[in-house]
Amino acid sequence: MRLRRSSRAALCLWALCAPLGASLARADASLHSLWELHGKHNTVYVLGSIHTLRPSDYPLSNAIMDAYRDSKALYMEIDLDEMSSPGVQSEMVQAAMLPDGTTLEQAIGPARYARAQSLAHEVGVDLSLFAQFAPWFAAEAISQLQLAQLGFDAQSGVEMYFMERARSDGKKVEGLETAHEQMALFEGMPMETQAEYLMSSLEQARDLPKQVDDMVHAWQRGDTGWFQVEIKSDIGRDPRLYQSFLVARNRKWIGRIEALLDDDQNYLIIVGTAHLVGRDSVIELLKRDGIGAVQR
């Protein structure tokens, strides 16, 4: 989903679905969040993404731009053109709404709602704006508002940047999954999990500027260890979320990636960075199938 969160747990989902602070590599670092796979007749590049950036965070590193130029087509988690279609936009609104007659206060409970109201007020948000919306959506929307205040813009994110480049250069862009599949992940979250997610986001909202900077710096230097720690301490603590948001999707993508390695043209795949680190990552699953991946 093209929405972002603010707690540490939210930041992990942000990096994989889901990632923003200092200038992005005016000079190349020794490593990047970029991996290179080699088929018999082609190369597939896999780039870990941060989905929201500031205009001042460009240009991207030479290594990333070289991978784009060397690729004839792009794959992303979803095709962003699909996300902007009226039908999908309508489906997103419906997915975000609570059942008729249910309010956010009823969904998360009066005591928790009162606490959420207070926390939201501290970051300049009126929680009553989300009275008819599911807790996961309230968490997403509040985080987006905060990021906008910090100067970050989804239109400047990695995927959007390369989508526009691909349109200009006549390169094909496809999705590894559909917008409907991504929305189903959030709709399938139990209400208690959604409530905890909203509260966790709000409780750590004031720390967002530093959290975002830390994530960007880790992404810039290809620091897989940073992301592994975050995944383990946050989404990794909830086996259901870990399996549905990360592992199941990674496994689903492997077949498509391996099929691309049987082609004779080069590809660039862009997915949230959290999909590319840890024991159940796309990179590790490929290695188990005998496909080596070199971090660049």
Per-residue pLDDT, averaged over 107-132, amounts to 96
- Is position 97 within any domain? yes
Per-residue pLDDT, averaged over 56-64, amounts to 88
- 33 or 88: which carries more pLDDT confidence? 33
Per-residue pLDDT, averaged over 142-158, amounts to 85
Ranges 6-10, 88-92, 150-154, 188-192, most confident: 188-192
Residue 15 has pLDDT above 70, yes or no: no
What is the pLDDT, as a whole number, of residue 12?
45
- Is position 2 within any domain? no
Q: Which helix (H) or strand (E) is 284 found in, with range? A: helix 282-288
What is the pLDDT, as a whole number, of residue 2?
36
* Average pLDDT, rounded, for the chain: 87
Per-residue pLDDT, averaged over 61-74, amounts to 97
Residue 205 has pLDDT above 90, yes or no: no
- Is position 90 within any domain? yes
What is the pLDDT, as a whole number, of residue 47?
98
Coarse DSSP helix, strand, coil percentages of the chain, rounded to the nearest 5 percent: 60, 10, 30
Q: Which helix (H) or strand (E) is 118 found in, with range? A: helix 110-122
Residue 26 has pLDDT above 80, yes or no: no
Q: Cβ contacts of residue 191 below 8 Å, gap of 6+?
A: 107, 108, 135
CA 269, CA 169: separation in Å to the nearest integer?
Answer: 17
**Number of independent structural domains in the chain:** 1
What is the pLDDT, as a whole number, of residue 135?
97
What is the pLDDT, as a whole number, of residue 236?
67
Contact yes or no for 129/237 (Cβ under 8 A): no
- Is position 3 within any domain? no
CA 87, CA 198: separation in Å to the nearest integer?
Answer: 27
Give the least confident one: 23-27, 126-130, 167-171, 205-209.
23-27
Residues 236-285 pLDDT 10s = 678 888 999 999 999 999 999 999 999 999 999 999 999 999 999 999 99
Residue 5 has pLDDT above 90, yes or no: no
- Is position 153 within any domain? yes
Q: What is the DSSP string of 213-257?
A: HHHHHHHHTT-HHHHHHHHHHTGGGSHHHIIIIIIHHHHHHHHHH
- 140 or 17: which carries more pLDDT confidence? 140
- Is position 217 within any domain? yes
What is the pLDDT, as a whole number, of residue 22?
29
Task: State the amino acid at position 108 in one-letter form.
Answer: I
Q: What residues make up the domain containing 232?
A: 8-295
- Is position 182 within any domain? yes
What is the pLDDT, as a whole number, of residue 216?
83
- Is position 1 within any domain? no
Q: What is the DSSP string of 129-180?
A: GGTTB-HHHHHHHHHHHHHHHTT-BGGGSHHHHHHHHHHHHT-EEEESS-HH
Helices 191-203 and 8-16 pack at an angle, to 10 degrees, of 110
